[in-house]
Amino acid sequence: MIGAGAFTLENPVALWTLIKREMKRTWVVINQVIWPPIITTVLYVFVFGLALGSRIGNTQGVPYAAFLIPGLIMLQVIDSAYGETGSSVFQGRFLNHIQELLIAPMSALEIVLGFVLAGIARSFLIAGLITVLGLALVHTGPRDWLLYALVVSMVAVLFTSIGIVFGLMAEKFDHIAIFTTFVITPLVFVGGVFTSIRFLPPLVQQVSLFNPMFYMIDAFRYSFTGRSDVSLVLSLGIVGSLSAVAFAAALTMTAAGYKLRV
Amino acid sequence: MSAAIEIEGLVKRYEDLTAVDRVSLAVEEGDFFGFLGPNGAGKTTTINAVVGLASFQEGSIRLFGYDVVREWRQARALVGLAPQEYNFDRYLSIRDILIYQGGYYGLRGPALRRRADELLERFGLAQKANVFYTRLSGGMKRRLTLARALIHQPRLLILDEPTAGVDVELRLELWDFVRELNRSGTTIFLTTHYLEEAEALCRNIAIIERGRIAARESTRDLIGNRSLQDVFLELIKR
């Protein structure tokens, strides 16, 4: 049952406090949240971008290493947005400190927004650091910062919301990893991080069009290269719609007290 | 003046089990109220319904006149809960636990930080302000539970087994503190398995058994010339 006022926004201090709390958690576990995606990206850039990439030639009109950077940013943003939020929500339930939020005068909207806005901030931090790496190592950066910010924000909303949903549903930490292992990683890897779908066999190209990750990566890459495999409007429409659905799901579950209130 | 707690016809069911069965209870503002019962009687379920951690199927709960379902923001702002278990945020220092909890209640700025420091001082935790709670002893964690519940200066303090597992010295210290708090106007709602604690502290007592109120009287009238333990055992064996 969803109570009255679950979707109201009247306690901005609480919302800000939750955002700060999530960022504090990120800082405390920085070796788990921030450095691994950066180090992994450096390795990808050296091995695939600079070593193998020099033999591949141009992709979408840019050197392969420059083509790779936006895909790697998406890979890490998606992974972090989902994983960190899912862990934080589940840990809050597991250790019961989420009760601090539940007994306070905070609405479901304020709680969900707190996690999502913190997820966006964390995503920009990771995306920004990898972008700096791209500028330093491959001399490539975004041409369209507005589109860059829009896609990072939408993808962060989508995957922090999914993180909340799985953080609420999970019965053990292992359950958080299921979505990463069986959904995120395979779909991201075949979604265009390492190659344009134009290089894939026709049948696989058709299948890729059902992969939502492809649209995220394609739209984001457009902010770097100015080129995309499908219409930018279509990609933004799909990512925006998925983000809205995921946010609504996280909000509804939180408002209903799913596995939060007995 | 509204009662601090007004529960009317509260029913909470878990599938086939009725954990709380038409419970009605009023606690006057300023009271020191004991809510006793054996394990599984419905004490924690009732508390959870009062603070918003549990939904319920029938009945109503009002805190200082505010309905906990329809006017939950106003109601929750007036209550502090010190749960039995240590459910602290492990990513925050002791001082931050208090400051962030205050933030969830809409408090901020120097006044909040001063309040946190006062509580740390009052509960003998100032020296540990910057450590994580896992570094505290059991007694310190118990004091931190109380400090956190008081950060927003609630008019109603709910104590769920506040002295479970603490030594005699700290127990007496906590008794003194909650007595002082009650004298200054805070309504106290206490659950405890230590019947001598309820007898020593509470002006009024309700006993819940199998989800129903078995007795609700002033402590003096309830025990007469017997001990609370005798009365309690008699009531729960009926």
Token pair 């596995």 in the structure block, residue = A259
Nearest Cβ partner of B85 from A24, A96, A101?
Answer: A96
- Phi, psi for residue A190 in degrees, rounded to 5: -95, 5
Which chain B residues are Cβ-neighbours of A104 within 8 angstroms?
76, 101, 104-105
| A19-77 tens-digit pLDDT | 999 999 999 999 988 999 899 998 988 887 777 777 777 877 888 888 999 999 999 99
Q: Which domain holds residue B223?
A: 31-41+79-237
Q: Which three-class secondary structure state does DSSP give residue B32?
A: strand
Statement: residue B95 has pLDDT above 80: yes
| B121-174 tens-digit pLDDT | 999 999 999 999 999 999 999 999 999 999 999 999 999 999 888 889 889 999
Q: Which residues contact A240 (CB under 8 A, 6 or more apart)?
A: A154
Output the pLDDT for position B238: 65
Output the pLDDT for position A182: 93
Output the pLDDT for position B1: 61
Cβ atoms < 10 Å from Cβ of B202: 24
% of residues, chain A, pLDDT over 90: 74
- CA B219 to chain A, closest CA, distance in angstroms equals 30
Nearest Cβ partner of B53 from A1, A16, A103?
Answer: A103
* Residue B84 within any structural domain of the chain: yes
Q: Which of these, A90, A190, A72, lies nearest to A126 by C-alpha position?
A: A72
CA A104 – CA A99 distance, rounded (Å): 8
* Nearest Cα residue in chain A from B46: A262
Compute CA A184 distance to the chain's CA centroid, rounded to the nearest angstrom. Answer: 10
* Nearest Cα residue in chain B from A110: B104
* Residue B71 within any structural domain of the chain: no
* Residue B7 within any structural domain of the chain: no
What is the arithmetic mean of pLDDT over B188-212? Answer: 94
Which chain B residues are Cβ-neighbours of A16 within 8 angstroms?
103
Nearest Cβ partner of A102 from B45, B52, B70?
Answer: B52
Report how many domains make up chain B.
Answer: 1
* Residue B158 within any structural domain of the chain: yes
Q: If you compute the radius of gyration of chain B from its CA atoms, what whole number of angstroms results? A: 18
* Residue B169 within any structural domain of the chain: yes
ipTM, two decimals: 0.93
DSSP for A190-239, please give it.
TTTSSS-GGGS-HHHHHHHTT-HHHHHHHHHHHHHHS--SS-HHHHHHHH
DSSP for A15-36, please give it.
HHHHHHHHHHHHHHTHHHHTHH
Residue A174, judged by CB atoms within 10 A of its CB (0-12, 13-18, 19+), counts as: exposed
DSSP for A159-170, please give it.
HHHHHHHHHHH-
Report A:101-130 residues touching B (Cβ under 8 A). Answer: 101-107
Q: H-helix or E-strand containing B152?
A: none
| B41-94 tens-digit pLDDT | 999 999 999 999 999 999 999 999 999 999 999 999 999 999 999 999 999 999
Output the pLDDT for position A75: 95
Q: Best residue in A97, A102, A115, A259 to probe B by mutation, most B CBs within 10 Å?
A: A97
State the pLDDT confidence band at A1, using cuts at 50, 70 and 90: low
Q: Which residues contact B149 (CB under 8 A, 6 or more apart)?
A: B80, B81, B82, B157, B158, B159
Token pair 């049948």 in the structure block, residue = A203
Report angle CA A134, A28, B110 to the nearest 5 degrees.
115
| A134-167 tens-digit pLDDT | 999 989 999 999 999 999 999 999 999 999 999 9
CA A164 – CA A253 distance, rounded (Å): 9
Q: If you compute the radius of gyration of chain A from its CA atoms, what whole number of angstroms results? A: 19
- Phi, psi for residue A105 in degrees, rounded to 5: -75, 65
* Residue B8 within any structural domain of the chain: no
Q: pTM for this one?
A: 0.94
Instruction: Say if the Cβ atoms of A100 and B81 lie within 8 Å.
Output: no
* Residue B26 within any structural domain of the chain: no
CA B87 – CA A90 distance, rounded (Å): 14
- CA A7 to chain B, closest CA, distance in angstroms equals 12
Instruction: Say if the Cβ atoms of A97 and B90 lie within 8 Å.
Output: yes
Instruction: Say if the Cβ atoms of A14 and B104 lie within 8 Å.
Output: yes
Q: Which three-class secondary structure state does DSSP give residue A242?
A: helix
The answer to whether A185 faces chain B, any CB pair under 8 Å, is no
- CA A10 to chain B, closest CA, distance in angstroms equals 9
Report angle CA A51, A54, A55 to the nearest 5 degrees.
105
What is the arithmetic mean of pLDDT over B211-235? Answer: 88
Mean pLDDT, rounded, of chain B:
94
Distance in angstroms between the alpha carbons of the first and the last residue of chain A? 11
Lowest-pLDDT range, A129-143, A187-201, B205-219? A187-201
Residue B164, judged by CB atoms within 10 A of its CB (0-12, 13-18, 19+), counts as: middle
Which chain B residues are Cβ-neighbours of A3 within 8 angstroms?
69, 72
Q: How many interface pairs between A and B have CB atoms less than 8 angstroms apart?
A: 90
Output the domain CATH number for residue B198.
3.40.50.300
State the pLDDT confidence band at A221, using cuts at 50, 70 and 90: very high
The answer to whether A221 faces chain B, any CB pair under 8 Å, is no
What is the arithmetic mean of pLDDT over A80-109? Answer: 96
* Nearest Cα residue in chain A from B84: A96
* Nearest Cα residue in chain B from A29: B91
* Residue B166 within any structural domain of the chain: yes
Q: What's the number of CA atoms in the CB half-sphere (13 Å) around residue A61? A: 8
